A and B are shown apart, each in its own frame.
Chain A
Amino acid sequence: MQKHGKLSQVFANQLSRIYNLVQVRKPWVIVLLGLVILSSIAGLKFIKYNNDIAVMLPSDKNVQRSLRFLREANFSDKLVVSLKLNEDKRTTEELILATDQFTQSINSPLIKQVFGNISGKNVMSEMVTFLKYTPQLLGIEPLMKLEYGTRPDEIKERLKFIFKQSLSPSSSFMMPFLRIDPLNLSSGILHNMEKLSAASGYQVLINSGHFLSRDGRHAMVIVKSSVVLTDGFGSRKIVDYLKNKIKELPGYVKADIIAGHLHTISNEDVIKKDIRITSIIAAFSFLLLFLLFFRDIRAVIIFLMPFVAVLIAINISFLVFKDLSYFVIGMGTVIAGIAIDYGIYVYMAVRKLGNSLQTVKQIIRPVLFGALTTISVFAAFFFSSVKGYRELAFLSNLSIILCLLFAIFILPHFLAGKSSPNLTEKDDTLPKAHHSKSIDLVFVILWLLVVVISCILGSRLKFNNDINQFDGTAKEIIKSEEEFHRVWGSKDLPAIFVVTAKSLERAYELNDLVYVDALEGIGKDNFTSFSSVWPGMQARKTSLAVWDGFWTKEKKAGFKKMLVLYGKPYNFSAGAFSPFIDELEQVNHLELEPNNLTFFNQLKDQFVFNKPEGYQIISFFPDREEYITKLNVVSNKYPGTFLISRKNFSRDVSRAFTSELALLAFIAVFLTVALTFLLLKNMRLFLLAMVPIVTSLALIIGVLPLAGLSLNTPSIIAAMVIIGVVSDYGMFVVYYCKYKYKTGTYLAVTFAALTTLIGAGVLLFAKHPILFSIGVTLVTGVAAGYISSLLIIPPLYRLWRIDKENSYA
């Protein structure tokens, strides 16, 4: 106790020393502060902002691996342009000409390649060459059927089929294939190849080598860029470039760009606009509030304090973190709304009691503890693995500390000279009107009812972990994408199974093992793997051994005879199937990959990636819960493999957040509770101070489902911030009930709540879903905490007969 008293004395002495120092050096303090403000304003120009969603996600291994993969994947640098004929009388041919005009006009260092049509150089002859690998690629099962396929009846049927194909108008395309593969052994390989080509899911028709939609009214151009979609600056440049090129198209062709780059730009624009609008509304509302209610020009200082604090804090935070998340900057108005509270408490006290050190000493304890609870909530985020939350913790706490220092040491000196013009004792005696026990009871019962009903409504609250809810992309872009998917299909993006290995050979082997297990787990139709077209060396070696074992000398001779004999009715020539016969006589060699086959390399580029750390081979499957569960088992069996799926990603994020938020919430609640108890040093008073926290949380879980919203990570974070903010209201009101200092507590709490509500309320105007979600939670929580502080704590205090003075007559 004695130790505690000593500490208080030391603190009081220090407070007096600094307070007096500022009083004496007032001009120097003003100059210094002015310089800091000017430097901070200038510093804003040099701050680098980051709009990458990754900074708001946990550093969980799976989450970060998925993000890294998506960022480095070869589709993160592609943009699709969908061209559309917008006049009925225009023909597909005109669309093709416009597409060619568009692709030929593109020439920018930002663009590596443009695919508007199939570069078909040697593709047919390459395909025929590739079929020479058939003996290696068939696999054991089709080879087992060879015996059946070379029976006389089967050969007769096949030859009849080949003859019928020659009646088709497109027979010239098929002839080379029919001649090199009369037994149709490669149909499985060709089918798998087509399946791989269509793995993106787009329904494309090829016309004159161009990618056209089924109705022939749309053409697709794929632009490969040097800009990855997370690069906001580069994204803007390339999109602007393409938009200018689109303007050059004939009037009857409209074009939409479909790319992740647009989401990056749009999110950045939406957040920037939100920050601008919310800051203006907040600043205007704050100013209006102070000037109208306080009717004192000095109130402008309180208004300026949080903005100056946030301004300085942004600069210092940038120096610490090297860049700042837009989402964190977006919270600026909320932080300002919270940080302004301490200035209000001091202002009210000084106006009531004068600007003496004694006045500051009377309010320093609740102000300090109020700030400490809020700081402790934000400080909990320092324990987070999410970079954005650590930025938020730093920025918020620095702003609050700066505001607190301004409020205690600087503000009182600027309020000197005038007595309070408007405030009287009457202004601050709100609870006296309700000094009837029955009215107090009614208030408490109503409060209990509201809390219970909210909790019941809260049972309908759902947790939404879908990462897409944080995508604030503009509606026009979403509309274009919907139209794009309507025309081209592929609305549901497939999930990806990734195999990694140090060497390409090992990656192919591992891919084979995964393919076999995946087929067993989810079926051939659901798993698109490069292994189905090009397996590893071991698998091909086995296949080749079976092939060579089957084609004995006698078998070959018998087969040739049958071709000649059964081909006679159709007048087939002696050399009709010479390409196949010649291949039968060749000795097959095993190679890691076919050499110089452009079409193979193009196909491979979609599935096999050469990374600095080794090789990655990807396979596609439908992003469904049951497949993910089954393939997770496969992935766990083979180290170096993992899944990338939107559903899995959401689940990983959710799991990482759940474990992290549990710890953060515990730290925040523990510190708030401990500090409140330390200030009040009385269990009953402490429990009363908890009333706004309980009310806020109950109302949040009740109001969110009523508003049609679900609980998400940002709203949980906002709820934690609310605990820190409304605990201040509870502390101040309980402190007032107990000590009766005439420091304008009720009015101060009212203004503090109003400013926080303005700071949070402006987020309701935000278009970005993260900021909006935070706004709804904060407004509900702060409003509930404030009302319960003023209307419920005093009646409970009296009903609980904590002291005689406040008991009923």
Chain B
Amino acid sequence: MKRFLIFIFTVICLSWYAAYADNSNRDINSTLDNLEKKMSGIESIQTDFVQEKDLALFNEKLILKGKVFIKKPMLLSWRVFTPMRYSIVIRGSTISQWDEDTNKVQQVSMASNPSFQAAIAQMQNWFSGAYKSMQSDYEITLIKDNPLALVFIPKAGSLPQNFIKRVEIVFQDDLRYLKEISISEKNGDHTRLKFMNTEINQPIDAKTWEAKSSVR
């Protein structure tokens, strides 16, 4: 009798788990579809950010403040204002970097720099909202509905598994863009990126796509 009860209990648990797994799969797919639909209308984004870096390299958290601009298909401008003015602009396959200390622009070709390529591609994926294609690299789980929050765990054997332990993304209430990204790295480093004053599909100054410019 005891065995029979254990068996019944196991069957019930398995059925619940199967139903849950099926539902959660369906949920995440429909969520990602919904997100992609919402974000597909985005042609450009400009948003302020605050980045907190808790790295083994530093004694204390490093806090960066700046602004990021993205324009489809392949334009990205990352501008840091504090603690030091620094910018990186990606135009197609060319990367330009500038900092106020040297006041020089350094150009790198992505084609000749695969490691940089991989890093930039990851970053662009996080910012663009194209999470469905990331399912081959990450196990994506919905952890909260309001505000929407997703967790990305790198799959075994994937490239991100080399350095990322976990990524959590929280979306703005209207789901039009990200509110926050937290990245926990394998080496114990942790980065949190918060977005504020996000503007979508607003005109962007052409000078933004030059690494050395005073755009703020």
Most buried by B among A117, A173, A214, A570: A173
Main secondary structure on chain B at its contact with chain A? mixed
| Complex CA distance for A120 and B58, rounded to whole angstroms | 28
Contacts of A576 in B (CB 8 A): 56-58
A97 close to chain B: CB less than 8 A = yes
A166 close to chain B: CB less than 8 A = yes
Contact between A172 and B191, CB atoms less than 8 A apart: yes
Nearest CB of chain A from residue B197's CB, rounded to whole Å: 18
Residue of B nearest to A120 (CB): B159
| Complex CA distance for A575 and B121, rounded to whole angstroms | 30
| Complex CA distance for A122 and B123, rounded to whole angstroms | 20
Contacts of A160 in B (CB 8 A): 101
Contact between B116 and A170, CB atoms less than 8 A apart: yes
Per-position binary interface string of chain B over residues 152-187, scored 1 when its CB falls under 8 Å from any chain A CB and 0 otherwise: 000011111111100000000000000000010101
Contacts of A570 in B (CB 8 A): 58
A168-B78, A170-B123 known; A91-B117 Cβ under 8 A: no
Partner of A205, one of B36, B56, B60, B93: B93
Partner of A167, one of B59, B64, B113, B185: B64
B115 close to chain A: CB less than 8 A = yes
**What's the tally of chain A residues with a CB closer than 8 Å to chain B?**
53
Contact between A121 and B156, CB atoms less than 8 A apart: yes
Nearest CB of chain B from residue A106's CB, rounded to whole Å: 15
Contact between B58 and A175, CB atoms less than 8 A apart: no
Most buried by A among B115, B116, B119, B185: B115
A125 close to chain B: CB less than 8 A = yes
B136 close to chain A: CB less than 8 A = yes
| Complex CA distance for A571 and B61, rounded to whole angstroms | 10
Nearest CB of chain B from residue A360's CB, rounded to whole Å: 77
Contacts of A167 in B (CB 8 A): 64, 80, 84, 86, 99
Give the interface segment out of B3-11, B18-26, B127-135, B202-210: B127-135
Give the interface segment out of A196-204, A308-316, A479-487, A700-708: A196-204
A100 close to chain B: CB less than 8 A = yes
Contact between B121 and A571, CB atoms less than 8 A apart: no
Nearest CB of chain B from residue A126's CB, rounded to whole Å: 9
A164 close to chain B: CB less than 8 A = yes
Contact between B111 and A175, CB atoms less than 8 A apart: no
Contact between A172 and B189, CB atoms less than 8 A apart: yes
Contacts of B92 in A (CB 8 A): 214-215
A97-B133, A166-B57, A575-B56 known; A209-B158 Cβ under 8 A: yes
A468 close to chain B: CB less than 8 A = no
Contact between B132 and A124, CB atoms less than 8 A apart: no
Contacts of A169 in B (CB 8 A): 68, 78, 88, 123
A184 close to chain B: CB less than 8 A = no
Contact between A208 and B161, CB atoms less than 8 A apart: no
B96 close to chain A: CB less than 8 A = no
Contact between A206 and B73, CB atoms less than 8 A apart: no
| Complex CA distance for A212 and B64, rounded to whole angstroms | 32
Contact between B101 and A572, CB atoms less than 8 A apart: no
B62 close to chain A: CB less than 8 A = yes
B212 close to chain A: CB less than 8 A = no
A207 close to chain B: CB less than 8 A = yes
Partner of B58, one of A91, A100, A198, A571: A571
A176 close to chain B: CB less than 8 A = yes
Contact between A175 and B55, CB atoms less than 8 A apart: yes
| Complex CA distance for A170 and B183, rounded to whole angstroms | 12
B114 close to chain A: CB less than 8 A = yes
Nearest CB of chain A from residue B180's CB, rounded to whole Å: 15
| Complex CA distance for A198 and B118, rounded to whole angstroms | 15
Residue of B nearest to A127 (CB): B115
Contacts of B53 in A (CB 8 A): 166, 171
Contacts of A119 in B (CB 8 A): 157
Residue of A nearest to B119 (CB): A170
Most buried by B among A162, A169, A571, A573: A169
Residue of B nearest to A119 (CB): B157
Contact between B189 and A175, CB atoms less than 8 A apart: yes
| Complex CA distance for A209 and B88, rounded to whole angstroms | 22
Contact between B162 and A125, CB atoms less than 8 A apart: yes
B201 close to chain A: CB less than 8 A = no
Give residues of chain A (204-261) contacting chain B, Cβ–Cβ below 8 Å. 204-209, 214-216
Contact between A198 and B97, CB atoms less than 8 A apart: no
Contact between B118 and A571, CB atoms less than 8 A apart: no
Contacts of A478 in B (CB 8 A): none
Partner of A179, one of B56, B114, B134: B56
B110 close to chain A: CB less than 8 A = yes
| Complex CA distance for A576 and B132, rounded to whole angstroms | 37
Contact between B159 and A118, CB atoms less than 8 A apart: yes
A172-B191, A204-B111, A208-B137 known; A164-B159 Cβ under 8 A: no
Contact between A164 and B162, CB atoms less than 8 A apart: no
Nearest CB of chain B from residue A91's CB, rounded to whole Å: 7
Most buried by B among A96, A100, A125, A208: A208
Nearest CB of chain A from residue B196's CB, rounded to whole Å: 17
Per-position binary interface string of chain B over residues 79-118, scored 1 when its CB falls under 8 Å from any chain A CB and 0 otherwise: 0100010101000110001010100000000111111111
Contact between A164 and B93, CB atoms less than 8 A apart: no
B213 close to chain A: CB less than 8 A = no
Nearest CB of chain B from residue A490's CB, rounded to whole Å: 12
| Complex CA distance for A339 and B115, rounded to whole angstroms | 67
| Complex CA distance for A176 and B189, rounded to whole angstroms | 11
Contact between A214 and B162, CB atoms less than 8 A apart: no
| Complex CA distance for A160 and B92, rounded to whole angstroms | 28
Contact between A120 and B157, CB atoms less than 8 A apart: yes
B1 close to chain A: CB less than 8 A = no
A121-B156, A169-B78, A176-B163 known; A164-B86 Cβ under 8 A: yes
Contacts of A168 in B (CB 8 A): 78, 86, 88, 97
Contact between B59 and A572, CB atoms less than 8 A apart: yes
Contacts of B185 in A (CB 8 A): 172
Nearest CB of chain A from residue B38's CB, rounded to whole Å: 14
Partner of B101, one of A94, A164, A204, A216: A164
Contacts of A176 in B (CB 8 A): 163, 187
Contacts of B124 in A (CB 8 A): 207
Contacts of A87 in B (CB 8 A): none
Contact between A173 and B161, CB atoms less than 8 A apart: no
| Complex CA distance for A263 and B60, rounded to whole angstroms | 62
| Complex CA distance for A580 and B188, rounded to whole angstroms | 18
A320 close to chain B: CB less than 8 A = no
Nearest CB of chain A from residue B123's CB, rounded to whole Å: 5
| Complex CA distance for A171 and B55, rounded to whole angstroms | 10
Most buried by A among B36, B117, B118, B164: B118
B120 close to chain A: CB less than 8 A = yes
Most buried by A among B73, B157, B163: B163
15 A–B contact pairs at CB < 8 A?
A92-B130, A93-B130, A94-B133, A100-B136, A118-B159, A173-B119, A173-B163, A175-B57, A176-B163, A194-B114, A205-B110, A205-B117, A207-B124, A214-B93, A573-B58
Q: Lowest 9 CB-CB distances: which A-B pairs, in order?
A: A120-B159, A170-B119, A124-B162, A93-B133, A173-B119, A93-B130, A121-B157, A207-B121, A96-B133
- Contacts A194-B114, A198-B112, A207-B124 aside, 13 further interface pairs with beta carbons under 8 A come to A120-B157, A120-B158, A120-B162, A124-B163, A166-B55, A172-B185, A172-B189, A173-B116, A173-B163, A174-B119, A194-B112, A209-B137, A209-B158
